[in-house]
């Protein structure tokens, strides 16, 4: 047996167990060291220097990047440390935009909290006035570099947890900023809108984009019927903003608050989640029977969907074609609800309350509109709803619970557990097992798919068949899994992916949290909520059954397809990054050869040379613009060449020549016609 | 065809460095010597082929002052403004050069992209102060008159080259 190891922290003896750094150990001693850049879920960065402690014989060291050693004598509160911490905060404040009263980060700002906690009453340094432009291009997030403290939390969560890397440090010294590549706007780069950067940002430098004003406007408009839908994860987290414990279910209070604010109808996204379960499970059973596009990937998470569209075009067909519960609800509301209420869909304003920033992006996707009107008009995050409740002066904790409206306010537990990672899989299993065997089951819990791991797997025998499932959260884990599926190392039938750690309960629209234990309490709250409900399987939801018989018709049928399904496209990670080799005139057309890695390895270089040669020798260089693009994101079918609007996969010189000739003839005809 | 040739060269550089993200700096150096700057679309291409995000390539390219994302002239003139050169009047040389090259307010390069004028903090040639380098050639103990004639020499050479190319 190894000897016990310990350190002394402010004269207390603390046992070293699993702690990898001194900061964790100091926390174990119940001392809260200030820090901006330390997150247990990210790599240690050591940039903010706020967690400096004094170690006998070593002097001042940052606790976060110092491994504990036997017998260390640590002091956390010496005169020198106290003075130094204050100076650090003062220096940060000196080049920080100080519009604190109007900053949306408000009371959750850690810089403000720290300044107060450390008793910083005056900033002795000269204010640096460098006004950098605000980036509000993204539908989900607003980036204000003037509030950035360069802790790098956002950079690390984006690359380490999500494996996206949409933002990074650039420039140097006093000019250092955290920005997307080439200083582009956030919506022009590969950002997937998950908002985890905003969740870990200690200040207001990255914030979910607010739609509060638009919603108030709709509420005050007497001609509009404002319809709310509340996502499952919201009900176990909103209470935190009003001093309730994380995980306490406040479904009834949310309904009451929305009514008090002025929403006309309040429904539950868990209802449309029940619908998703039925559509998605049947899609899965079909695919299994046809052995087509297996594994089936869930498509409820819009950040994950964009991730696949950008990085894994070969898997786009594997995504379930089901719309997410938010969008299913939107389509139903605009089509059925408007009809039932006897008003035009233009007078129905659908407002979602979501734990998520990517849902704002999803609602604006061009696929989701009804004769030019968006299916979901506005998306509020849990935080935004909390702020509206505060603004309206509603005493949330004292609200008498009220119920949601029918029919779309009635849900089963299956629709509620969507809020947890593993929930969609479990809900689908509750349906699939009964559908395949044709027998009713008494139990409904599938605990094998539950848990906190970022990557879990399970095998289940249903009838005579074994199904293998993977449940993933965090897109870095998803990327690993996709690579393993691609290489043939693993096989799954069904894969659930949620971009945020823990699933939607850990979404970036939720009240800000940094300690994972808060998320765990929300997860628990969701499962308790499921247990409290009368029904647990989507197929038992009488209103869903009624909806199919009265309106939708068959599961997966024509009507259902029109309202409840969608399609995906591959998309370029970064816009406007093409090179031109030969420029034609205005009336010409474009030929673009892909030079992404996949296409390059498949010979796009030679192809480009040949195409240029062909164009020159045929005297076409004045009418054809030839360029190279970096990735059409269809790498498996390279080399890819885009001629006019046509994308030619597995392109050869002959194929390109044929298409160019075709284009040239039609362009010529057009020119003659116009002349 | 010149763009294509250069681009093929980039492909070659990336391949020679085993498409390894750890070799990013040597790749950027080689690409910069080919283009005389780092074009945005080439950086995106490099990021994609190394399997890293364009934002991190941009971060490296902007961190080191020797990398530039702005096109630079064929002749890069770096006037030393370290202490020794500064005391010996390097700023007079700088002004003389700006006048000589008729650089407009805010511009560092001549419109024909023949010259780019920059200052550096120390060339380590303090014994030759005031000093400058043009591309890789060091010039010391400069006066505004001498600077003027150095530029004239380059212009003469360029004119001759141009004549040779056209004449051939």
Report CB contact under 8 Å: B45, A630: yes
- CB-based contact, B83 to chain A, within 8 Å: no
The upper half-sphere exposure of residue B87, i.e. CA atoms within 13 Å in the direction of its Cβ, equals: 6
pLDDT for A577 equals 60
Largest CA distance in chain B: 52
CA distance readout (Å), A149 to A53, A145, A175, A319, B13: 21, 9, 12, 39, 37
CA distance readout (Å), B138 to A559, A608, B76, B124, B131: 77, 42, 12, 11, 7
Residue scoring higher pLDDT (A155 or A577): A155
CA neighbor of A639 nearest in space, from A594, A606, A609: A594
pLDDT for A30 equals 95
Chain B closest-CA separation from residue A210 CA (Å)? 26
Chain B closest-CA separation from residue A531 CA (Å)? 44
Of A171, A597, A630, the CB nearest to B62: A171
For residue range A16-64, what is the model confidence (pLDDT) as tens digits? 998 999 999 999 999 999 999 998 889 999 999 999 999 999 999 999 9
pLDDT for A416 equals 97
What is the C-alpha to C-alpha distance for residues A377 and A369, in angstroms, rounded to an integer?
A: 10
Helix (H, G, I), strand (E, B) or coil at A457: strand
Length of chain B, in residues:
168
The upper half-sphere exposure of residue A184, i.e. CA atoms within 13 Å in the direction of its Cβ, equals: 23
What is the C-alpha to C-alpha distance for residues A553 and A546, in angstroms, rounded to an integer?
A: 10
Helix (H, G, I), strand (E, B) or coil at A124: coil
DSSP label of A138:
S
pLDDT for A131 equals 87
**Neighbouring residues of A424: CB distance < 8 A, sequence distance ≥ 6:** A276, A277, A280, A298, A300, A418, A496
To 5 degrees, how large is the angle CA A266–CA A268–CA A272? 130
DSSP label of A210:
P
For chain A, state the CA radius of gyration: 28
3-state secondary structure A281-344: HHHHHHHHHHCCCCCEECCCCHHHHHHHHHHCHHHHHHECCECCHHHHHHHHHHHHHHHHHCCC
* Contacts for A553-558: CB closer than 8 Å, 24+ residues apart: A555/A278, A555/A279, A555/A282, A556/A279, A556/A282, A556/A283, A556/A286
Q: Is the pLDDT of residue A636 over 70?
A: no
- CB-based contact, B48 to chain A, within 8 Å: yes
Q: What's the CATH class of domain B2-63?
A: mainly alpha
What is the C-alpha to C-alpha distance for residues A544 and A567, in angstroms, rounded to an integer?
A: 23
Q: What residues pair up with A61 in beta bridges, in sequence order?
A: A53
What is the C-alpha to C-alpha distance for residues A490 and B11, in angstroms, rounded to an integer?
A: 33
Burial classification of residue A174, based on how many CB atoms lie within 10 Å of its CB (0-12 exposed, 13-18 middle, 19 or more buried): exposed
pLDDT for A14 equals 94
Chain B closest-CA separation from residue A170 CA (Å)? 4
For A379, phi then psi, to 5°, come to: -120, 120
Six token digits for residue A520 = 């765990």
Buried b (16+ CB within 10 A) or exposed e, A608-625: bbbbbebbeeeebbebbb
Report CB contact under 8 Å: A170, B3: no
pLDDT band (50, 70, 90) for residue A419: very high
Report CB contact under 8 Å: B47, A170: no
Mean pLDDT to the nearest integer, A192-209 = 96
Contacts of A609 in chain B (CB under 8 A): 4, 8
pLDDT band (50, 70, 90) for residue A630: low
What is the C-alpha to C-alpha distance for residues A85 and B16, in angstroms, rounded to an integer?
A: 48
Q: Is the pLDDT of residue A107 over 70?
A: yes
Strands (DSSP E) found in A131-276: 141-143, 167-170, 177-180, 206-208, 225-230, 265-268
Q: Is the pLDDT of residue A297 over 90?
A: yes
Using left for φ > 0, alpha for ψ between -120 and 50, and beta otherwise, residue A13 falls in beta
pLDDT band (50, 70, 90) for residue A251: very high
Q: Is the pLDDT of residue A631 over 70?
A: no
pLDDT for A327 equals 97
What is the C-alpha to C-alpha distance for residues A568 and A368, in angstroms, rounded to an integer?
A: 11
What is the C-alpha to C-alpha distance for residues A293 and A280, in angstroms, rounded to an integer?
A: 13
The upper half-sphere exposure of residue A132, i.e. CA atoms within 13 Å in the direction of its Cβ, equals: 21
For residue range A353-379, what is the model confidence (pLDDT) as tens digits? 999 999 999 999 999 987 889 999 999
- CB-based contact, A667 to chain B, within 8 Å: no
Report CB contact under 8 Å: B4, A172: no
How far does CA A613 lie from the centroid of its chain? 45
Chain A CA closest to residue B1 = A581
Q: What residues pair up with A177 in beta bridges, in sequence order?
A: A170
For each of chain B's 168 residues, which pLDDT tens digit applies? Answer: 567 777 788 888 988 999 899 999 999 999 998 888 898 888 988 888 888 999 999 999 999 988 999 888 889 999 999 999 999 999 999 999 999 999 988 888 998 889 999 998 888 999 999 999 999 899 999 999 999 999 999 999 988 887 665 544
Chain A CA closest to residue B62 = A171
DSSP H or E segment with residue A73: strand A73-75
Q: Is the peptide bond before A407 cis (omega within 30 degrees of 0)?
A: yes
The upper half-sphere exposure of residue A109, i.e. CA atoms within 13 Å in the direction of its Cβ, equals: 25
CATH T-level fold of B75-167: Glutaredoxin (3.40.30)
Q: DSSP alpha helices (H): ranges in chain B?
A: 2-16, 24-35, 40-50, 54-63, 83-87, 90-100, 144-167
Angle between helices B90-100 and B144-167 (to 10 degrees): 40
Helix (H, G, I), strand (E, B) or coil at A489: coil
pLDDT for A660 equals 84
Rounded to the nearest integer, the mean pLDDT of chain B is 89
- Mutation target for A interface from B28, B56, B59, B64: give the one with most A CBs within 10 A: B59
- CB-based contact, B49 to chain A, within 8 Å: yes
What is the C-alpha to C-alpha distance for residues B136 and B133, in angstroms, rounded to an integer?
A: 6
Q: Domains in chain A, start-ordered, CATH in brackets? A: 6-77 (3.10.20.740), 105-208 (3.30.70.20), 213-564 (3.40.50.1780), 579-674 (3.40.30.10)
Rounded to the nearest integer, the mean pLDDT of chain A is 91
For residue range A311-333, what is the model confidence (pLDDT) as tens digits? 888 899 999 999 999 999 999 99
Residue scoring higher pLDDT (A165 or B4): A165
CA neighbor of A611 nearest in space, from A602, A601, A621: A621
pLDDT for B163 equals 66
Residue extents of the structural domains in chain B = 2-63, 75-167
- CB-based contact, A182 to chain B, within 8 Å: yes
Helix then strand count (H, E) for chain A reads 22, 24
Residue scoring higher pLDDT (A636 or A132): A132
pLDDT for A2 equals 63
CA distance readout (Å), A56 to A24, A53, A61, A72: 19, 10, 10, 7
Q: Is the pLDDT of residue A224 over 80?
A: yes
- CB-based contact, B58 to chain A, within 8 Å: yes
CA neighbor of A349 nearest in space, from A219, A220, A226, A214: A226
pLDDT for B168 equals 42
Q: Which residues of A are catalytically annotated?
A: 280, 283, 300, 320, 359, 362, 367, 504
* Contacts for B58-61: CB closer than 8 Å, 24+ residues apart: B58/A168, B58/A170, B58/A181, B58/A182, B58/A183, B59/A168, B59/A169, B59/A170, B60/B24, B60/B25, B60/B28, B61/B28
Q: What percent of chain A has pLDDT over 90?
A: 74
Q: What residues pair up with B116 in beta bridges, in sequence order?
A: B76, B109
Contacts of B7 in chain A (CB under 8 A): 579, 581, 595, 628
DSSP label of A144:
-
Q: What is the DSSP string of A353-396?
A: EES-SHHHHHHTSTTSEETTEESS-EEEEHHHHHHHHHHTT--G
- CB-based contact, A614 to chain B, within 8 Å: no
Q: Identify the residue whose tokens are 């018709």.
A: A553
Chain A closest-CA separation from residue B111 CA (Å)? 22
pLDDT for A498 equals 97
What is the C-alpha to C-alpha distance for residues A633 and A309, in angstroms, rounded to an integer?
A: 8
Contacts of A596 in chain B (CB under 8 A): 48
Mean pLDDT to the nearest integer, A434-442 = 91
């Amino acid at each position: 047996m190894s000897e016990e190891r310990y350190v002394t922290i402010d004269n207390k003896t603390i046992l070293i167990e699993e702690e990898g750094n001194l900061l964790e150990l100091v926390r174990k001693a119940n001392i809260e060291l200030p820090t901006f850049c330390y997150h247990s879920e990210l790599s240690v960065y050591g940039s903010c220097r706020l967690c400096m402690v004094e170690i006998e014989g070593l002097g001042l060291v940052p606790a976060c990047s110092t491994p504990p050693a036997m017998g260390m004598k640590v002091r956390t509160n010496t005169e020198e440390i106290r003075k130094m911490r204050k100076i650090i905060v003062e220096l940060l404040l000196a080049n920080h935009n100080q519009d604190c009263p109007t900053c949306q980060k408000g009371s959750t700002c850690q810089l403000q909290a720290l300044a107060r906690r450390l008793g910083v009453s005056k900033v002795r340094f000269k204010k640096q006035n460098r006004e950098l432009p605000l980036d509000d291009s993204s539908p989900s997030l607003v980036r204000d570099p003037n509030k950035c403290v360069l802790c790098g939390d956002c950079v690390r969560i984006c690359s380490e947890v999500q494996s996206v890397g949409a933002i990074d440090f650039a420039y140097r010294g006093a000019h250092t900023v955290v920005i997307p590549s080439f200083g582009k706007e956030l919506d022009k780069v590969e950002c997937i809108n998950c908002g985890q950067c905003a969740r870990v940002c200690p200040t207001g430098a990255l914030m979910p984009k607010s739609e509060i004003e638009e919603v108030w406007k709709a509420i005050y408009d007497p001609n509009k019927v404002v319809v709310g839908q509340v996502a499952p994860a919201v009900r176990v987290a909103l209470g935190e903003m009003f001093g309730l414990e994380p995980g306490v279910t406040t479904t009834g209070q949310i309904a009451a608050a929305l009514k008090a604010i002025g929403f006309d109808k309040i429904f539950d996204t868990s209802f449309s989640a029940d619908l998703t379960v039925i559509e998605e499970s049947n899609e899965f059973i079909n695919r299994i029977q046809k052995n087509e596009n297996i594994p089936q990937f869930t498509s409820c998470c819009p950040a994950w969907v964009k991730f696949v569209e950008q990085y894994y075009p070969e898997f786009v067909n594997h995504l379930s074609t089901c719309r997410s519960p938010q969008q299913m609800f939107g389509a139903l509301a605009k089509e059925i609800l408007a009809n039932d209420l006897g008003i035009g869909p233009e007078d129905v304003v659908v407002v979602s309350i979501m734990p998520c920033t990517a849902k704002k992006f999803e609602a604006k996707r061009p696929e989701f509109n009804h004769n030019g009107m968006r299916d979901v008009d506005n998306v509020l995050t849990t935080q935004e709803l909390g702020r509206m409740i505060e603004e309206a002066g509603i005493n949330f904790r004292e609200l008498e619970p009220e119920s949601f409206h029918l029919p779309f306010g009635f849900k089963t537990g299956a629709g509620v557990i969507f809020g947890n990672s593993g929930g969609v899989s479990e809900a689908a299993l509750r349906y699939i097992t009964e559908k395949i065997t044709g027998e009713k089951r008494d139990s409904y819990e599938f605990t094998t798919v539950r848990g906190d791991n970022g990557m879990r797997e399970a095998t289940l025998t249903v009838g005579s068949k074994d199904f293998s499932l993977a449940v993933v959260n965090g897109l870095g884990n998803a990327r690993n899994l996709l690579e393993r599926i691609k290489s043939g190392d693993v096989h799954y039938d069904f894969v659930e992916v949620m971009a945020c750690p823990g699933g939607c309960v850990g979404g970036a629209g939720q009240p800000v949290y940094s300690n994972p234990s808060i998320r765990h309490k929300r997860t628990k709250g969701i499962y308790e909520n499921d247990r409290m409900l009368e029904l647990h399987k989507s197929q038992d939801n009488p209103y869903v059954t009624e909806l199919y018989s009265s309106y939708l018709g068959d599961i997966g049928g024509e009507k259902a397809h029109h309202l409840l399904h969608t399609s995906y496209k591959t998309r370029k990670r970064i816009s406007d990054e093409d090179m031109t080799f030969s420029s034609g005139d205005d009336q010409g057309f474009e030929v673009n050869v892909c030079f992404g890695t996949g296409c390059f390895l498949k010979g796009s270089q030679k192809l480009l040379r040949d195409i240029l040669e062909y164009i020159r020798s045929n005297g076409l260089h004045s009418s054809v613009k030839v360029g190279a693009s970096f990735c059409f994101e269809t790498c498996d079918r390279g080399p890819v060449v885009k001629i006019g609007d046509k994308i030619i996969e597995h392109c050869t010189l002959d194929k390109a020549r044929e298409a160019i000739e075709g284009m040239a003839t039609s362009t010529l005809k057009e020119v003659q016609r116009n002349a | 065809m010149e763009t294509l040739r250069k681009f093929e060269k980039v492909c070659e550089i990336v391949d020679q460095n085993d498409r390894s993200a750890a070799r990013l700096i040597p790749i950027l150096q080689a690409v910069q010597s080919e283009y005389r700057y780092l074009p945005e679309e080439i950086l995106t291409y490099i990021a994609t082929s190394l399997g890293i995000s364009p934002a991190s390539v941009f971060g490296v390219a902007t961190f080191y002052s020797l990398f530039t994302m702005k096109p630079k002239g064929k002749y890069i003139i770096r006037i030393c403004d370290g202490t020794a050169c500064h005391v010996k009047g390097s700023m007079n040389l700088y002004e003389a050069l700006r006048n000589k090259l008729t650089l407009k307010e805010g511009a560092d390069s001549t419109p024909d992209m023949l010259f780019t004028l920059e200052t550096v903090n120390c060339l380590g040639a303090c014994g030759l102060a005031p000093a400058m380098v043009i591309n890789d050639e060091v010039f010391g103990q400069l006066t505004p008159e001498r600077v003027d004639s150095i530029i004239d020499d380059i212009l003469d050479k360029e004119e001759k080259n141009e004549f040779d190319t056209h004449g051939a």
